[in-house]
Amino acid sequence: MELNIDALTKTYPNGVQALKGITLHIKPGMFGLLGPNGAGKSSLMRTIATLQEADSGNILLDNVDVLKDKTAVRQWLGYLPQDFGVYPKVSAEQLLDHIAQLKGIHNKAERKALLAAIFEKVNLTKHCKKNLGTYSGGMKQRFGIAQALIGQPRLVIVDEPTAGLDPAERNRFYNLLSQIGQETIVILSTHIVEDVKTLCADFAIICDGEVLFHGQPDEAVKLVEGQVFTKVIEQEEIDTYKDNYKVISTQIKGGKLAIRIISELHPDNGFVSVPAGLEDVYFNTISERTEVITL
């Protein structure tokens, strides 16, 4: 299975150009789509999930034309939207059973066995009879994955799934996502670098509706290895440093400012060389398009 997105564009009626010619080739495994808020991630996810039209371009899932043959794509698709709402007064079991019926599983015994297996997988067996309104954020997200996994999808799309989860819930969710079969394409849209670092063998950075980088996390880090330097400065000095160096991120520490810069040569002037991380790649890549990130 392969997903080929080619020169995809979308302008909303209010004039916002959300996708400016996105081209991406995505293979089975976990693919991270990393970008700041407003980058166009959800617009792209919704288009691949057949929920919204593009203005131009193509998407092929193997030989299936995603933009034209929506019904065929939906049979292969599992989708966890960013704003996954649940009916609070319905139990997880009732809602999942309903969704399974909508996905075409009409045999009651088959549904029962399937639900039991999926609840076990997402670790909600104990809670499946509870109303969804009583679920924590992490439990709701795991329920969201449960519904996305019905029907053994070959393409799973999860849009900002870890936003708002505490670290323990996020870990549980990571474990769950990493268990989805290697044959399946899983697209994880996120603005959290940690998500990509932990889970993804392949990723892209998008910003302003454009792909700015596509590659493997390790290779990406190698590109800036040896070029990241840090220094603690007074907060009011920041503008001078921004004028003279490529500042990619800042962090307030004890009233002062720890800044990270990218430089091919050692800048001296009190800067210390530090190991590069995926965050440096990300902030460096988007720094030309956005304000410097404050951590």
- DSSP-derived pairing of the beta strands 293-294 and 246-253: parallel
Q: How far is the CB of 67 from ligand ADP (least distance, A)?
A: 17
Kindly tell me which of 225 and 288 has the beta carbon lying closer to ligand ADP. Answer: 288
Please name every residue paired with 80 in a beta bridge, in sequence order, or none if there are none. 158
Closest distance of CB 34 from ligand ADP, Å: 10
| Residue closer to ligand ADP, measured from CB, 80 or 224 | 80
Minimum Å distance from CB 37 to ligand ADP?
A: 4
CA-based end-to-end distance of the chain:
38
Q: Give the rounded distance of the alpha carbon of 232 from its chain centre.
A: 32
The residue (of 37 and 216) whose beta carbon lies closer to ligand ADP is 37
Angle at alpha carbon of residue 142, lines to 173 and 34, rounded to 5°: 50
**Nearer Cβ to ligand ADP (18/114):** 18
**12 vs 87 by CB, closer to ligand ADP:** 12
Which CB sits closer to ligand ADP, 14 or 71?
Answer: 14
Measure the CA–CA gap between 65 and 84, rounded to whole angstroms: 26
Residue 250, H or E segment: strand 246-253
Smallest distance, ligand ADP to C-beta of residue 202, A: 19
Cβ of residue 31: shortest distance to ligand ADP, in angstroms? 15
Q: How far apart are CA 68 and CA 13, in angstroms?
A: 21
For residue 208, the minimal CB distance to ligand ADP (Å) is: 9
Neighbours of 191 (CB within 10 A): 17
Query: What is the C-alpha separation between 118 and 125, in angstroms, rounded?
Result: 9
Contact in structure between 104 and 123 (CB atoms under 8 Å): no
Return residues touching ligand ADP (CB under 6 A): 12, 14, 16, 18, 35, 37-43
